């Protein structure tokens, strides 16, 4: 009842909203709370405020899961923010299906989003039942190993080019007094590391068979068992402070010369930049690591919950348009460590780590969809819980975890 009342009201106001020039304050919820993330998001706020008309009211909530839960509760409780960050995934699908999000299709058509956004898969999660409900702002990939160059030099090792290298080198790094692989012990980080190992050890074909095709034989295969075995070996490579540690505090261990490496998405780059470190001099960025690095095309999008207010709605459209504008795309993504979602912007100023990412993203053979864009939120969450349980329970066998993994994939959507 409530949903359709909001839907009717919002669409009736669409026309008048388009002509409104009233200033509006928009509350924007996101989870960009680390130093590097704050630097990037403040560029967006500044740019929006500079239109002389509107104001960005910042609501930063630490942790993606927490922030998304607050957004859901607020929308369902009738106190929706005007904009909110989600991952470029299926996380907001139910909100769109329930008619709770502003339809951006007219704006997308006018600004030719389908032509400028690349790769195509980046705009796909925004399109639900033929309508556009979100604006993608960046491409983030999870599959990066961030390294401290000085540590590898001191111990006389080359940066790892495979997960087996990471494991083989650990003893020497540990003996020299460093953490071989710093892991932040939170469910999503443990799951991200698992995804990286999956892609590095199993490869893209296996990834697609298991997650996209839901091929039961592939999920049961010895290749997937090898992914879990390799992942299990990483448990001993981290340190005692791992439990519950934030990703950026973990990155700090690499920045400050305590840990040799961290597996993390390319947003980690923002922390190195903020610390005044130079790419490929002070810190290294190894995609993969594997012989054929594959990057998932994840990232962030903004949704715009429907409002009973024409001025706010007009401002929401101004914000959506601004987020995708070429200038903002370059500035924001340079600070954030992500790649722009537009193919028509000049990224000549990108540092060597970004250049590596951009070059890989240019060829479809190197890219795959992230798990949360393939699986429903529920199924994705169940896999994350299972992976985290396995990581934290050394007595759990590979056969046991793989059985449960197969079951969730067969059972879930």
SS (H, E, C) 174-241: HHCCCECCCCCECHHHHHHHHHHHHHHHHHHHHHHHHHHCCCHHHHHCHHHHHHHHHHHHHHHHCCHH
Which among 31-39, 229-237, 253-261, 402-410 is the span making contact with ligand GAL, rule CB under 6 A?
Answer: 31-39
Which among 29-37, 153-161, 216-224, 282-290 is the span making contact with ligand GAL, rule CB under 6 A?
Answer: 29-37
Does position 200 bind ligand GAL by CB under 6 A? no
Using the 8-state DSSP alphabet, how is residue 324 labeled? T
Token pair 């509760």 in the structure block, residue: 73
CB-based burial, 264-280: b 16+ in 10 Å, e otherwise? bbbbbbbbbbbeebebe
- Which CA distances in Å does 36 have to 141, 247, 248, 276, 296? 16, 12, 9, 11, 21
Closest to 182 measured CA to CA, from 111, 255, 103, 74: 255
Which residue, judged by CB position, is nearest to ligand GAL in the bound state?
267
Residue placing its CB nearer to ligand GAL in the complex, 87 or 307: 87
Half-sphere exposure of 222 (CA within 13 A, CB side): 0
Does position 405 bind ligand GAL by CB under 6 A? no
Pair type for strands 55-60 and 25-30: parallel
C-beta of 78: minimal distance to ligand GAL in Å? 27
- Which CA distances in Å does 396 have to 187, 379, 390, 403? 17, 21, 6, 11
C-beta of 192: minimal distance to ligand GAL in Å? 9
Does position 297 bind ligand GAL by CB under 6 A? no
Q: Convert residues 80-99 into a mask of x (bound to ligand GAL by CB under 6 A) and - (unbound).
A: -------x------------
Does position 300 bind ligand GAL by CB under 6 A? yes
Both tokens assigned to 335: 């600070």
Residue placing its CB nearer to ligand GAL in the complex, 180 or 299: 299
Does position 160 bind ligand GAL by CB under 6 A? no
Using the 8-state DSSP alphabet, how is residue 158 labeled? P
C-beta of 33: minimal distance to ligand GAL in Å? 7
The single residue among 26, 29, 31, 61 that binds ligand GAL, judged by CB under 6 A, is 31
Which among 30-38, 120-128, 147-155, 313-321 is the span making contact with ligand GAL, rule CB under 6 A?
Answer: 30-38
Residue placing its CB nearer to ligand GAL in the complex, 267 or 405: 267
- Which CA distances in Å does 307 have to 102, 300, 311, 318? 8, 22, 9, 15
Residue placing its CB nearer to ligand GAL in the complex, 203 or 370: 370
Interacting residues with ligand GAL between 242 and 271 (CB under 6 A): 247, 267
Does position 32 bind ligand GAL by CB under 6 A? yes
Residue placing its CB nearer to ligand GAL in the complex, 6 or 268: 268
Residue placing its CB nearer to ligand GAL in the complex, 82 or 138: 138
Is the sign of the CA dihedral 281, 287, 290, 291 positive or negative? negative
Interacting residues with ligand GAL between 315 and 374 (CB under 6 A): none
- Which CA distances in Å does 72 have to 67, 68, 86, 130, 371? 9, 6, 11, 23, 21
C-beta of 109: minimal distance to ligand GAL in Å? 27
Does position 307 bind ligand GAL by CB under 6 A? no
The single residue among 6, 64, 178, 310 that binds ligand GAL, judged by CB under 6 A, is 64
Which residues is 234 bridged to in the sheet? Answer: none
3-state secondary structure of 101: strand
The single residue among 6, 26, 37, 331 that binds ligand GAL, judged by CB under 6 A, is 37
Does position 152 bind ligand GAL by CB under 6 A? no
The single residue among 90, 118, 140, 204 that binds ligand GAL, judged by CB under 6 A, is 140
- Find the helix packing angle between 187-197 and 64-76, rounded to 10°: 120
Q: Are the C-beta atoms of residues 197 and 163 closer than 8 Å to each other?
A: yes
List interacting residues with ligand GAL (CB under 6 A): 31-32, 37, 64, 87, 140, 247, 267, 299-300
């Amino acid at each position: 009842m409530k949903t359709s009342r909001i839907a009717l009201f919002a669409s009736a106001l669409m026309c008048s909203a388009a002509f409104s020039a009233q200033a509006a304050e928009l509350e924007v919820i996101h989870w960009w709370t680390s130093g590097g993330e704050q630097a990037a998001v403040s560029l967006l706020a500044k740019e929006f405020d500079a239109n002389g008309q509107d104001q960005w009211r910042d609501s930063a909530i630490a942790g993606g899961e927490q922030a998304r839960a607050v957004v859901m509760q607020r929308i369902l409780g009738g106190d929706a923010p005007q904009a909110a960050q989600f991952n470029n995934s299926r996380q907001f699908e139910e909100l769109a299906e329930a008619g709770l999000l502003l339809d951006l299709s007219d704006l997308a058509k006018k600004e030719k989003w389908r032509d400028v956004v690349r790769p195509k898969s980046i705009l796909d999660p925004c399109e639900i039942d033929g309508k556009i409900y979100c604006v993608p702002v960046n491409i983030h990939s999870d599959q990066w190993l961030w390294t401290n160059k000085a540590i590898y030099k001191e111990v006389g090792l080359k940066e790892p080019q495979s997960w087996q290298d990471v494991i083989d080198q650990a003893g020497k790094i540990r003996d020299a007094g460093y953490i071989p692989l710093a892991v932040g012990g939170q469910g999503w980080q443990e799951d991200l590391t698992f995804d990286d190992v999956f892609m590095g050890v199993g490869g893209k074909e296996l990834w697609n068979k298991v997650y996209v095709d839901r091929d039961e034989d592939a999920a049961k295969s010895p290749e997937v068992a090898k992914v879990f075995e390799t992942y299990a070996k990483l448990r001993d490579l981290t340190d005692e402070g791992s439990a519950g540690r934030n990703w950026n505090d973990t990155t700090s261990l690499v920045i400050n010369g305590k840990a040799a490496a961290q597996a993390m998405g390319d947003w980690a780059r923002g922390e190195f930049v903020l610390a005044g470190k130079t790419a490929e001099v002070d810190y290294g960025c190894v995609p993969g690591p594997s012989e054929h690095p594959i990057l998932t095309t994840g990232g962030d999008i903004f949704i715009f919950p429907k409002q009973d207010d024409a001025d706010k709605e007009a401002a929401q459209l101004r914000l959506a348009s601004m987020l995708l504008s070429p200038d903002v795309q370059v500035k924001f993504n340079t600070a954030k460590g992500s790649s722009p979602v537009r193919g028509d912007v000049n990224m000549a100023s990108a540092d060597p780590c970004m250049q590596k990412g951009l070059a890989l993203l240019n060829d479809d053979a190197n890219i795959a969809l992230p798990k949360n864009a393939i699986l429903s939120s529920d199924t994705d969450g169940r896999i994350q819980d299972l992976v985290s349980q396995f990581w934290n329970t050394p007595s759990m066998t590979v056969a046991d975890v793989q059985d449960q993994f197969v079951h969730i994939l067969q059972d879930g959507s």
